[in-house]
Amino acid sequence: MDKNSDMLSVVIPTTRPDMLAETIRSVKNQKYPDFEIIVVDNSINSYSSVQIKKICYSEGVRYVKEENEGLHNTRNRGVIESKGNIVVFIDDDAKVGEKFLEEIVKPFSMFNNIGAVGGKVIGVFESSPPPHMRYLKYSYLSLLDYGNEMKEVSHINGNNMAILKKAWEDAGGFNPDLFQKPKNIWKRGDGESGLWAKMIQKGWKIIYTPYAVVEHYIPKERMSIPNLKKIAFRHGIQMSYSKFFGGRFPPRPILLMRSGAFLLIFLMEKMMSLITKYPKSARYEVDSELYKARAMYEMKLVYDQRLREHVSRTNWIEEVKR
C-alpha cells in the first residue's frame, strides 16, 4: 500500500444535524489505532450550520465549512483537509461497527493498484417498505450488496467508500454531485460514479469487501412515490452527464433525435402508469421521470453553452482549492 503513515482520515459530509452525533459516535468507537474524523459542513441553512458546529465541538471532532455548494465540493474539501493517505467517507445518517475501519482498509494491502474500496450498505428502515418497492431498484435507496466475497467491481457506494488520495488526485477528484438549491439541478453530474470511471481509465482498481458494513437509515418519506420520482429525475441527469462527460458530444441533430426518443419513452412510461394497477404502476410512474430528465437535459445540451462547458470539464479539484 502506497502511504506515508498508518493514519486514516474519516470524512463525513453533511448538510443536517439530525443524526450526525450518532454517526460520529459510531466512528469514534472504532478499534483502528490511528484515525481522524473530519465533518465537512455544506449546509446553506445558517441554523443547521450552527447546530453542526456545536455537535462537532461537543464530540471533539474537526469541523470544516465548505462554502461552495455541492456534494462534490464537500467531498473534495474533505480529501484536501485530510492528513491520512487513505480517506474514508460515510454519510451523516449512517452507523458503522467497531471493526469497520479495520476491514475497509485491508484490501489496500492485499491487492496492487487499489484506488478505492467500498463495502456493503444495508438499510435500517423507519417503517416496512411499501408494496411498490418490490418493483423498483433498491439503488434508489443507496443500498449495495455484491455478495459475500471480496471482488473487483466498477462501482461502489458513496456512503461506504475509502479512497487512496493519490488515486483521487490522479483522477481529478469527484465529479459534480448533489446540490441543495433547485435552480442548480442541471449542474448535477455523476459524483462518485464518475470518479470510479476516471480511476479505472487511469489503471486503478476498485474493490468491494463484504466485511466493511454500513447501516444506512431509510426514513419512510424516502420510499414515497413523490420522493422516488425526484431521485429518478436526478438519476436521468446523471446518466446523460456520464454519456457525454469530457465533451464527447455528438452533432446537435443527433442530440435532438436522442431527446425526442427519450420524450417518447417518457410518454409511454406515463401511459403504462395510468393503465397498470398499483403497486406495479409505481415502477412506470417513477421511471418516467428518469426519461423526462434525459429528454430535457439532452435538449439543453443542444443550445446551452454553459452546460456544455460544465459537462466538458474533467478535473474538479481546483474548484475547491480556489
Chain segment 232-272, per-residue pLDDT in tens: 999 999 999 999 999 999 999 999 999 999 999 999 999 99
What pLDDT is stored for residue 60 in this prediction?
97
How do strand 114-125 and strand 62-65 relate by DSSP bridges?
unpaired
Taking residues 129-148, what's their average pLDDT?
A: 91
Check whether residue 92 and residue 12 sit in a common domain. yes
What pLDDT is stored for residue 250 in this prediction?
97
Residue 2 confidence (pLDDT) above 80:
no
SS (H, E, C) the chain: CCCCCCCEEEEEEECCCCCHHHHHHHHHCCCCCCEEEEEEECCCCHHHHHHHHHHHHHHCCEEEECCCCCHHHHHHHHHHHCCCCEEEEECCCEEECCCHHHHHHHHHHHCCCEEEEEEEEEEEECCCCCHHHHHCCHHHHCCECCCCCCEEECCCCCCEEEEEHHHHHHHCCCCCCCCCCHHHHHHCCCHHHHHHHHHHHCCCEEEEEEEEEEEEEECHHHHCHHHHHHHHHHHHHHHHHHHHCCCCCCCHHHHHHHHHHHHHHHHHHHHHHHHCCCCCHHHHHHHHHHHHHHHHHHHHHHHCHHHHHHHHCCCCHHHHHC
Check whether residue 197 and residue 61 sit in a common domain. yes
What pLDDT is stored for residue 162 in this prediction?
98
Q: What is the pTM of this model?
A: 0.94
Q: Say if CB 277 and CB 284 are below 8 A apart.
A: no
What pLDDT is stored for residue 95 in this prediction?
96
Place of cell 462518485: 192
Check whether residue 112 and residue 242 sit in a common domain. no
Average per-residue pLDDT in the chain? 95
Q: How confident is the model at residue 199 (pLDDT cuts 50, 70, 90)?
A: very high
Taking residues 163-188, what's their average pLDDT?
A: 96
Q: How confident is the model at residue 139 (pLDDT cuts 50, 70, 90)?
A: confident
Q: Specify if 172 maps to a domain.
A: yes
Check whether residue 195 and residue 239 sit in a common domain. no
Q: Find, among 259, 282, 261, the residue nearest to 270 by Cα.
A: 282
Last residue of a domain, one of 220, 239, 256: 220
What pLDDT is stored for residue 5 in this prediction?
59
Our count of domains for the chain comes to 2
Check whether residue 215 and residue 229 sit in a common domain. no
Taking residues 122-138, what's their average pLDDT?
A: 92
Check whether residue 190 and residue 247 sit in a common domain. no
Taking residues 168-191, what's their average pLDDT?
A: 96
Residue 263, domain extent? 225-312
Q: Specify if 287 maps to a domain.
A: yes
Taking residues 226-237, what's their average pLDDT?
A: 97
Residue 62 confidence (pLDDT) above 60:
yes
Q: How confident is the model at residue 4 (pLDDT cuts 50, 70, 90)?
A: very low
- Domain at 112, CATH number: 3.90.550.10
Taking residues 130-149, what's their average pLDDT?
A: 91
Check whether residue 214 and residue 291 sit in a common domain. no
What pLDDT is stored for residue 318 in this prediction?
81
